[in-house]
Amino acid sequence: MSESLSNDNGFSEEPQEPALLPLDAWHRARGARMVEFAGYMMPVQYTGEGGGIIAEHLWTREQAGLFDVSHMGQLEFSGEGVAAALETLLPGEISALKPGRQRYSLLLDDNGGILDDLMIANRDGDYYMVVNGATKWDDIGHLREHLPDEITMNHLDEHALLALQGPKAAEAFARLDVRPESSDTPALLDLKFMQAGAYLWNDKPLGISRSGYTGEDGFEISVRSEDVVALADALAALPEVRPIGLGARDSLRLEAGLPLYGHELSPETDPVAADLGFAISKRRRAEGGFMGADKVLALLAEGAPRKRVGLALEGRMAAREGATVHLGARMIGTVTSGGFSPSLQHPIAMAYVDADLATDGTALEIEMRGKRLPARVVSMPFVPHRYYR
């Protein structure tokens, strides 16, 4: 059952203590080191053979990694005029999203600031949305406040969410004999990037999209909490698949040049500065009509004063979030994410810098622990995406 969040109903408050994932015991039995993240106890990495952030990162790039992202919020929307209602809050063209298709979008405030980034899919006229775990309760409140009473919002709080990512994810997953629920849905291996559908595995319903946040081919799998242990066991038994923790998920998305809420994205950040203009469709640019449109459309026309860029560093020392970026004596930006790239074998970072210095090849410096680290602006992704198109 899902909890109804239509505007005349109540909903659960944000948990005060760290919550446990449906797979909590499963992770601990496999040697996971658990940390608090987004209000949940989450596996950051695994111990034993094949464990550790670098090993898990490289395994995902070469084989297939299984990620538990059940802390994310899964929401469903239905009702007459649901697409138009969602377009008042999201800058994407939701009404043009065909059944079985998924799109990246943003939840914006009145000033064009980013409240969250999200995925939204058309499920035969109803819409399925995945929002970030750290913001889901605020997102639910915001959506509940601004959507009309005719729109019903269900929080799928009794569903888990797994991500199977890597170049061998598809061939491994296909061996589980996952079948489409209807003849209108593509076979699992025929799904392309940002397509989604309803499937069955051992008579257990799965909502599957060909997507993820590592830059690799792969799938996100919505599954009832009561079924998730059986599915995780079946996936982890495949020789290509290993469980992967939050640490490698972060280094993978950094190499993929993908922004993370709370780092690159916040209410103080707009879609133009964040280099997410692609999420605002041509019609929405022309017509507006979404929250924060006046500010965002002005920035699209005039340009933002700062821009999110990729930085490649020399040496071995990594830049961390909050480090300042300099051009000589001029402080021109701040690092939002940084680390040593296991794939490239040198440090990389994302930062916001003054727009006039966001050109590829610009030589800059990052101040870390009283030292200046040479860096240059590079195009993203740092590691090419390998989505199945």
Neighbour tally for 355: CB within 10 Å = 16
Written as tens digits, the pLDDT of the chain (389 aa) is: 233 333 333 344 444 689 999 999 999 999 999 999 999 999 999 998 888 999 999 999 999 999 999 999 999 999 999 999 999 999 999 999 999 999 999 999 999 999 999 999 999 999 999 999 999 999 999 999 999 999 999 999 999 999 999 999 999 999 999 999 999 999 999 999 999 999 999 999 999 999 999 999 999 999 999 999 999 999 999 999 999 999 999 999 999 999 999 999 999 999 999 999 999 999 999 999 999 999 999 999 999 999 999 999 999 999 999 999 999 999 999 999 999 999 999 999 999 999 999 999 999 999 999 999 999 999 999 999 999 99
Neighbour tally for 172: CB within 10 Å = 18
DSSP string of 234-249, one letter each residue: HHHTSTTEEE--HHHH
Pairing of strands 40-46, 19-20: parallel
DSSP string of 86-126, one letter each residue: HHTT-SS-GGG--TTBEEEEEEE-TTS-EEEEEEEEEETTE
pLDDT at 13: 46
User: For residue 305, is the peptide bond before it cis, meaning its omega torsion is within 30 degrees of 0?
Assistant: no
Q: Which part of the chain has CATH 3.30.1360.120? A: 3-73+158-255
pLDDT at 1: 29
Domain range 305-389, CATH class: mainly beta
Helices and strands (H and E) in the chain: how many? 9, 22
pLDDT at 4: 35
Confidence (pTM): 0.94
CB-hemisphere CA count at 13 Å for 288? 13
pLDDT at 3: 35
Taking the C-alpha atoms of residue 193 and residue 195, their distance in angstroms, rounded to an integer, is 6
Pairing of strands 73-78, 152-155: antiparallel
Q: Which part of the chain has CATH 2.40.30.110? A: 305-389
Does the domain at residues 3-73+158-255 carry the CATH identifier 3.30.390.30? no
Closest by alpha carbon to 72, among 163, 161, 166, 178?
161
